[in-house]
Structure 1
Amino acid sequence: MLKKTLLAFILVCSFFPKSFGQVESSITEAIQGYFYAQLNQDYELLLDYIYPGLIENAGGREAMKNTLMTIHQNQLKKGIKVREFKLREPIQHTKVGVEIHALVPVTSISKVPGGQLTTENNLIAVSEEGMVHWYFIETTSLDERNIQKVLENWNGSLMLPFKKAPIFKEDK
């Protein structure tokens, strides 16, 4: 009996580090597609990475696509062009029911009139247990008071980090 219990304990313990690494690598792979779609204004591909609840709240795929296009056009009119995205560490995650929620720290670098703007932000990644597909939620306008309006299952076990002001670096 003791041997069976010990064997079960070892198997369970060996599962967790592997599972954590699998979550991180799965998110890293998905975020590359998300970054690619963002940088190339591939709105159809980008919609595949946006959390379905956001698309539904926007009035469907076509309405969300139009919103994304409008945002991009407004940024271009202001002289803002996103040049690069970087994934930062650490990715934190938790299981909530049948979903996995993760906080994914990212940095975006944008060309703006007179210089460069570096912004640190977090995305929320959401997937079901099999991690077949990840969806992302921008947290720019989210905090602990309103996050459940976007992600009903959010249980607060992950804390949204405080927002950081963007850093402007003047052109030389």
Structure 2
Amino acid sequence: MVDFVALTGSIKTAFDLARSAKDVNDQARANVAVIGIMEQLMEVQSQLSSTQVEYQALLEEVSRLKSELDDKRRFDSYRLERAPMGGYILTLKAGCVTEDCPPHSICPRCKEDGRLSVLTDTEYRFDCPACPFVAGKKPRPPRNQRRVVHSGFM
């Protein structure tokens, strides 16, 4: 981090050199004073440049952190709910349901990865379209086995 005390000191030194140079009648001493002022101003410029780079990096970090916070907040509208057959899903809270955001559930696995994946809600289960997550709602009926029809002839 740039030391603002040092930066202020460099500016003050440049100002003092400029003030002393105005009263100098000797050209050689005036040239030395001008060179000193130029050196101090270059130091100030370098420190300001470093400050600008650090400021930009801090702005980017703040932006990244705000984005992470917003990503986490979008899951605040959901509550963990047990599916009828024992799995867990995240369901939109009743107070968050609107015309633009109807009742739905999202995948808890995808949430852990920061993704908001709406579950497909079928008669028998909840399926995640983004990962292999499944939560059962009710058992499927047994499949009909082929019936052997006896015609009475052998």
Q: Verify same fold: TM over 0.5.
A: no
Larger Cα-atom Rg: 2
Q: TM-score, normalising length from structure 2?
A: 0.35
Structure with a larger share of its residues in strand: 1
Q: TM-score, normalising length from structure 1?
A: 0.32
Structure with a larger share of its residues in helix: 2
